Amino acid sequence: MDPAPTIAIVGRPNVGKSTLFNRLIGKRHAVIAHEAGTTRDRISQKYDCNGYESFLVDTGGIEIDKKGDIEENIQVQANIAIQEADIIVFIVNLTENLTVDDFAAAEILRKTDKPVILIGNKADNSEIEKNVYNIYELGFGEPIAISAIHNIGLEELRSTLEKTIKKLGFKKARSVKKEDKVIDLCIVGKPNAGKSSLINAILGQEKVITSPIPNTTRDATDTEFTYKDQKFNLIDTAGLKRRGRINRGIEKFSSLRVFSSIERSDIAVLLIDGEASVTNQDTHITEHVLAERKGLILAINKIDLLEKGEEMRDRIISKLRRKFSFVPWAPVVFVSAKNKTNTYKILELAEKIMEARKQKIRTPELNSLLQKVTMKHLPAGKGLKKAKFMYGTQVDINPPKFTLFFRHAKNLHFSYPRYLENKIREECPFSGTPINIQIKTSVGKEKKS
Which CATH number belongs to the domain containing residue 91 in this structure? 3.40.50.300
Amino acid at 258: V
Query: In total, how many domains does the chain have?
Result: 3
Same domain assignment for residues 255 and 150: no
Domain contains 106: yes
According to DSSP, the β-strands at 43-49 and 52-58 are antiparallel
Q: Give CA 320 to chain center in angstroms.
A: 25
- 121 and 148 fall within a common domain: yes
Residue 115 falls inside a structural domain: yes
The arithmetic mean of pLDDT across residues 14-34, rounded, is: 68
Give the number of other CB atoms < 10 A from CB of residue 142: 11
Q: Which of the four pLDDT bands, split at 50, 70 and 90, describes residue 203?
A: confident
Q: What pLDDT band is residue 112 in, cutting at 50, 70 and 90? A: confident
* Phi, psi for residue 6 in degrees, rounded to 5: -105, 130
Residues 340 and 384 in one domain: no
Residues 303 and 352 in one domain: yes
**Is residue 60 situated within a structural domain?**
yes
Residue 1 lies in a domain: no
Q: Looking at residues 15-43, what average pLDDT do you find?
A: 60
Domain that holds residue 406: 363-448
Q: What is the phi-psi region of residue 302: left when phi exceeds 0, alpha when psi lies from -120 to 50, beta otherwise? A: left
Q: How many CB atoms lie within 10 A of CB 28?
A: 12
Q: Are 420 and 394 in contact (CB under 8 A)?
A: no
Residues 192 and 286 in one domain: yes
Distances (CA, A) of 209 to 43, 72, 200, 212, 222: 26, 27, 9, 11, 13
Is-contact 233 370, C-beta < 8 A?
no
Q: Is residue 220 part of a domain?
A: yes
Q: Is the pLDDT of residue 269 over 90?
A: yes
The answer, yes or no, to whether residue 252 has pLDDT greater than 80, is no
Percent with pLDDT over 70 in the chain:
73
Q: Identify the CATH number of the domain in which residue 414 sits.
A: 3.30.300.20
Q: From the CA atom positions of the chain, what is the Rg in Å?
A: 25
Nearest Cα to Cα of residue 218 among 252, 189, 244:
252
- 173 found inside a domain: no
**Which one is predicted more confidently, 139 or 61?**
139
Same-domain status, 88 and 137: yes
Beta bridge partners of 6: 55
Does a structural domain hold residue 348?
yes
CA distance 334 to 271: 10
Q: Specify the range with the lowest mean pLDDT, choosing from 22-31, 65-74, 204-213.
A: 204-213
- DSSP class of residue 84 equals H
- Name the β-bridge partners of 297: 269
CA distance 8 to 56: 6
CA 413 to CA 437: how far, in whole Å? 14
Strands of the sheet with 436-440, listed across from one edge:
388-396, 401-407, 436-440, 446-448
- 352 CB burial (10 A radius; 0-12, 13-18, 19+): middle
- Model pLDDT, residue 393: 94
Model pLDDT for residues 307-365, shown as the tens digit of each residue: 656 776 777 777 888 889 999 999 999 898 888 888 999 999 999 999 999 999 999 99
342 and 400 together in one domain: no
The helix (H) or strand (E) run that includes residue 56 is strand 52-58
* Segment 222-249 mean pLDDT: 69
Task: Indicate whether 320 and 405 sit together in one domain.
Answer: no
Domain end position, chosen among 167, 192, 223: 167
Helix/strand/coil for 170: coil
Domain identity same for 319 and 350 = yes
**Alpha-carbon torsion (213, 217, 223, 229), positive or negative:** positive
Domain final residue, candidates 111, 137, 167: 167
Euclidean distance between CA atoms 71 and 219, whole angstroms: 24
> Do 285 and 142 fall into the same domain?
no
Does 172 map to a domain?
Answer: no
Spatial distance between the Cα atoms of 447 and 57, rounded to a whole number of angstroms: 33
Last residue of a domain, one of 167, 189, 219: 167
Confidence of residue 147 (pLDDT cuts 50, 70, 90): confident
Q: What is the pLDDT of residue 17?
A: 84
12/100 same-domain check: yes
Find the mean pLDDT for residues 52-74: 65
Question: How far apart, in Å, are the Cα atoms of 257 and each of 40, 43, 77, 164, 311?
Answer: 17, 10, 14, 22, 38
Q: Are residues 300 and 387 in the same domain?
A: no
